[in-house]
Chain A
Amino acid sequence: MPPTSRIPPLLQPFARTPKNESLLLLTSTLDASANWLLTRFLCDALGSGQKDNDNGEAKNVVLVSWMRDYDFWRQEARKGTGIDLGGLRTQGRFAFVDGLSGLFLPADEDTADQQRAQKLPAAQPGGPATRGPQPLPVRGPPGRTAPATATAQAAPRAPASLPGLYALSSISLDQMKTTIAAAIASLRPPTAATRTLVVLDNPDILLASVPGLTAAALTSFFLDLHTQTSVSHVLVHLQSDLALLANAEKPSPLQIAQQNLVVKTAHMSAKVLSVRVLDTGVARDVSGVLRVTVNRESWADIATVGEGGAVQAPEEVGSEVLYKINGDGSVRVFERGAELAV
């Protein structure tokens, strides 16, 4: 079964990178996770080589995740969309940069002794190695983080046994950029038309965990990645929970920073996808609402004028659909008010 058939037809125009090279913003809330949509983006970019649409060129993908580790994404992608990230990784079409294990998880007991001596100096050039205030609980079996931490001190080079697996070891944005650039460069040398999609999963955690980091520094970081050679699109996944945004009477500095990050990224993006729960409450047969809004004009075509009367393609106007995630990881997308066939 071709992997694209796992994307419901109604979702396809939304889970596709637009033709123009651009930034994309995906926001989610605590109740409505957007991981299912991220895997659909991965699936569409990686597997759409032989599709009939006009930008059906398959892309290389670099996934940078600060919230989840590689195993989570591998399972999620296999369960939801049926793509094999491990296989694509060995083919050199997919690379994963782990921003969780090296930065936020404590080193494992068995590797800690030999790692600690080497890791500390490696972390120093990026400034004071202030880790996250409290480390997140370990997920998955302990043996899993060993390769990630092993790659950490060798920073931008992936070991031959684990191609396409990188890990961030420092909270300095410059070092992160170097590692991600190495991951981008390691992908199969693209043919003339093959471009790369960079997916950044929850970089907003850095706002909270890195002292002195501003929203402007992070948006510059996004732009910096977008200017890397062969990168055509950058998809940024941020949280838009009310608790994190500055809607209180006296917002805290962190809330202001998060609000500015979301707003500025939305201003820069050609497409904003937001996932939220139903406004009217919890429903048994609806998991949430996906809203897509499109910013048609951009600086790239600032001096080109359209020839009025053109029919707007459905993916070029904003719209809202409901979705339901089933137990097996598949997703059903339907219009508001449509009958849900069980």
Chain B
Amino acid sequence: MDERYLQEKNIRIKQEANDWEDAVRKSGQLLVDSGCAGEEYIEAIIEMVKRDGPYIVISPGLALPHARPEEGARREGISIVTLQEPVEFGHPENDPVDILVAFTGSDGDSHLEMLQALAGFLNQKENLEFLRQANSPREVIDYIKNREKGG
């Protein structure tokens, strides 16, 4: 995963969240603060979950908050939030969630490239285990860098 997309300031470790909505807001806010999205992007994610159900919880413990690019995305970016205490999204199988990886996309090819790198990373269980026990954003960035160097 390229540092163009995931910066240290977009990672928050062992955060506290009152509920799923609070957790989604925290992960979305990092994208807003880094200029990747407008506030409306966060609202779009929350509305979609309320309307369609928490399908963004794609795997046990892991949520991928995202909306359509036209719903407030400004440029491509990723944020990672891990939670001190997991929250319930109301997903029948994959609750509770303790890792949120929010992202914004665009329609370009670079978006696809970013998502493929992200998917490749999240697909490996040991990477999720690493995120769960990580103690600082720097640790996460270093881990990702070393991993890419090592192949």
* A, B: real partners: no
Show the binding face of B for A, using Cβ within 8 Å.
none
Show the binding face of A for B, using Cβ within 8 Å.
none
